[in-house]
Amino acid sequence: MPDNEESSTIYGNIEIRNARENNLKNVSLDIPKRKITVFTGVSGSGKSSLVFGTIAAESQRLINETFTAFIQALLPRYGQPDADSLANLSAAIIVDQRRLGGNSRSTIGTVTDAYTMLRLLYSRLGRPSAGHSSAFSFNDPQGMCPDCEGLGRVSSIDVDALVDRDKSLNEGAIRFPTFAVDSWFWHIFTQSGFFDNDKKLGDYTEEERDKLLHMSEAKVKLSTGGGTINSKYEGLIPKFKRLYMSKDADQMAPHLRIAFEKIVTSAPCPLCGGARLNQVALGSLINGRNIAECAAMEVRSLAEFIRGIDEPALLPMLSALASRLDSLVYIGLGYLSLNRESSTLSGGESQRVKMVRHLGSSLTDMTYIFDEPSVGLHPHDIHRLNELLQQLRDKGNTVLVVEHKPAVIAVADYIVDMGPHAGRHGGDIVFQGDLAGLLKSGTLTGDHMNHHQTIKTDARRPTGQLSIEHATLHNLRDVSVSIPEGVLTVVTGVAGSGKSSLIHGCLPERYPDAVFIDQNLPRGSKRSNPATYTGMLDLIRKAFASANKVNAALFSANSKGACPECQGLGLTYTDLAHMDPVATVCESCEGRRFTDEVLGYTLRGQNISEVLMFSVVEASEFFIEPKILATLRAMDDVGLGYITLGQPLSTLSGGERQRLKLAVELGNSSRIYVLDEPTTGLHMNDVDNLIGLLDRLVDNGSTVIVIEHNLDVISRADWIIDIGPGAGHDGGRVVFEGSPAGLIGHEESVTGRYLRGHATP
């Protein structure tokens, strides 16, 4: 490939002039086309604002403008970025970390279309024939199991968990939250006239019990403040099934999901054995296997099975399916199976599944944009990712990558380092050029490229142990481990080795009080901010109310005190139909979000709008209220001292949102913390700060368990549990337990091999 200057002459640059999105400070930049450009910098420095909020947003907005007004109204809207100009853009393909989601009917096979190809194959080759490809679909009545309707599991209600027989209706005998005393549903039961509301359920006659639990519909009259209304009575079991068992538990509010999982038990369907399909589909075989058995195989094994089918007439179909499966193996997902539900994938796995559709694509002159594609990858697998990025570039595409890992930064043709710090102290380009220049630049990124944490040799002494015995979940092979208490334990191993199955799948049942901090990030919106998410705003409002002897609701931008013109947003939005809405600062409140009356009330000389503009560090100097200070300290501890209290969550990066979640959990009274890849989205400098936080948690008496690939975190562990040696069927056992120094000398451990190179660069 030509060098950067020659490439710019031939292909031109993506030209950005005076970008001001979020915290960007009039950033101007030329990005070489048909090259790999990596954007790095501390979390919150402006990388995502530049790449996703500016370049990607403008590319997608311009593509949408090529459609008719009618079609544009149906497409997602992308606002025009705050910049003077963007030029020489090409169509952008964004491969981000948003989870695939979906419900119980969405699987790896359906998302990648591999299962669609497999169904077509079985409709042609399966013997005895079951019919067309729809006959092998668990989402189609022709193919689904009639008992579980294609879900593979049947659910049943534990009546003793749903109702307390030692209580009356008035005492709250129905345990589900939406049936609590004084709720609407509770009033239907207590005003139906069928029951003595003070009679304990255990004393009910058979007829009363049947009416409570199983009665079909009946009309009843309910008393309200304005008189009576007609309503419908329905027994508790059919009502509960209709309202809650017809939807996916993952889509429920957290408090409802917790209660639901205590009441509803799920087990494999006895008819299909969890295969989801009817007996006709399951009886159709190719080389002795039915389609459900193929879907349950690891992708790498299924690829071998497909290549073993000798049918010249179907060679194009067989080749296409094998190629799709090989792509999954190539990007490090060979341990998955096609029947794995897509909602169970991590953000990193979701991102790599999305990559599959771009492998082998004939498109050129595209701009591929990746958001930390190394997330969830063991150092052993990163070389495959780098090869994919280079393949996309060599086919004539521009590749933009937001990334922190030195191994990925090292393959960049061009590097843009944002900073120097985060939030209002970031938003500038502190370096642009090649790797050699970065290493000499003196920036935080440049200084950390060859800086590693030292291997810990003075491990803490355990105060006890947490036991997991004979674990067999997923690929675990009768694993028993003792996790030391009072120390920092890191669980590591290649992706798919069984780390999450061991910790998330087995630990909660034995130790329900443990706090699990995973990668499910809080959703951002214009109205939610760090103060509301942490619950701190309620305390701030009470402090203002107490100081001014007024109602606390006045100090909510979503309630009584909100500016009536902008409804407390501080901005007014003008809807222009299919065109982008125009946002302007509210003329009435001048962006301060509250009425003049509310802004007249102060706390120690500051009004509520001024307080919400404080950074976490500034707020720590202002507040004297202990509970508010505790939350602020936790936010500062996780490296969020620079964000403002009223900053919309929608403007925070993924790493910032995850650390905000961590800050909330730090106030929990539990002494056991389990963190799932907490370095996700963190710059190398921020990783050092995170290690310091983990050390403080342990020193304060907590037990900290971290599932992690980051070699710096592994280096500072007191105890390591390495799962492997490979992924899927090749993993699922304990390869090593001991100190980081012991892991370095362990020959069988893949992690040990990379830690050894990390310790002696």
| β-sheet with 398-402: strand ranges across | 92-95, 367-371, 398-402, 36-41, 414-419, 428-433
Higher pLDDT, 403 or 659: 403
Pick the CATH number of 464-522+673-759 from 2.40.50.140, 2.160.10.10, 3.40.50.300, 3.90.870.10: 3.40.50.300
pLDDT tens digits along 268-322: 999 999 999 999 999 999 999 999 999 999 999 999 999 999 999 999 999 999 9
Q: Report whether pLDDT(578) > 50.
A: no
**Does domain 530-647 bear CATH number 3.50.50.60?**
no
Q: Report whether pLDDT(9) > 70.
A: no
Mean pLDDT (whole number) for 472-476: 88
Q: What is the CA radius of gyration of the chain?
A: 29
Rounded Cα–Cα distance for residues 159 and 572 (Å):
51
Q: Report whether pLDDT(359) > 80.
A: no
Contact between residue 592 and residue 598 where contact means Cβ atoms under 8 Å apart: no
What is the DSSP pairing of strand 27-32 with strand 13-19?
A: antiparallel
Task: Please identify, in words, the CATH class of the domain defined by 4-98+346-447.
Answer: alpha beta
Q: Report whether pLDDT(669) > 70.
A: no
Q: Report whether pLDDT(22) > 90.
A: no
Mean pLDDT (whole number) for 639-646: 88
Q: Report whether pLDDT(519) > 90.
A: no
Mean pLDDT (whole number) for 228-253: 82
Rounded Cα–Cα distance for residues 431 and 45 (Å):
13
Would the CATH topology of 108-152+269-342 be identical to that of 530-647?
Answer: yes
Mean pLDDT (whole number) for 83-97: 91
Mean pLDDT (whole number) for 510-531: 76
Q: Report whether pLDDT(95) > 50.
A: yes
Of 36-45, 199-208, 306-315, 374-383, give the lowest mean pLDDT range.
374-383
Rounded Cα–Cα distance for residues 100 and 626 (Å):
41
Give 760's pLDDT tier (boundaries 50, 70, 90).
low
532-558 burial, b for 16+ CB within 10 Å, e for fewer?
Answer: bbbebbbbbbebbbeebebebebbbbe
User: Would you state the pLDDT for residue 4?
Assistant: 57
Higher pLDDT, 654 or 103: 103
Contact between residue 240 and residue 176 where contact means Cβ atoms under 8 Å apart: yes
User: Would you state the pLDDT for residue 664?
Assistant: 85
Higher pLDDT, 456 or 331: 456
User: Would you state the pLDDT for residue 5?
Assistant: 59
Rounded Cα–Cα distance for residues 306 and 320 (Å):
10
pLDDT tens digits along 587-610: 888 889 899 999 999 999 999 999
User: Would you state the pLDDT for residue 245?
Assistant: 83
Domain boundaries, the chain: 4-98+346-447, 108-152+269-342, 155-268, 464-522+673-759, 530-647
What is the DSSP pairing of strand 672-676 with strand 703-707?
A: parallel
User: Would you state the pLDDT for residue 226?
Assistant: 65
Q: Report whether pLDDT(330) > 90.
A: no
Fold of the CATH domain 155-268: Helicase, Ruva Protein; domain 3 (1.10.8)
The pTM (predicted TM-score) of the whole model is: 0.80
Q: Which of these, 460, 456, 461, 482, lies nearest to 471 by C-alpha position?
A: 482
DSSP bridge partners of 527: none
DSSP character string of 444-490: HHHHHTT--PPPP-SPPPPSEEEEEEEE-STT--SEEEEEEETSEEE
The maximal CA–CA distance of the chain, rounded, in angstroms, is 89
Q: Report whether pLDDT(2) > 50.
A: no
Rounded Cα–Cα distance for residues 93 and 78 (Å):
14
Number of H helices, E strands in the chain: 32, 23
The gap between the terminal CA atoms of the chain, to the nearest Å, is 29
User: Would you state the pLDDT for residue 257?
Assistant: 78
User: Would you state the pLDDT for residue 727?
Assistant: 87
Percent of the chain with pLDDT over 70: 93
User: Would you state the pLDDT for residue 71?
Assistant: 84
Mean pLDDT of the chain: 89
User: Would you state the pLDDT for residue 1?
Assistant: 43
Give 121's pLDDT tier (boundaries 50, 70, 90).
very high
Helix axes 299-307, 315-330, angle to 10 degrees: 150
Query: 3-class SS at 179?
Result: helix
pLDDT tens digits along 603-631: 999 999 999 999 999 999 999 999 999 99
Pick the CATH number of 108-152+269-342 from 2.170.270.10, 3.20.20.150, 1.25.40.390, 1.20.1580.10: 1.20.1580.10
Mean pLDDT (whole number) for 20-40: 95
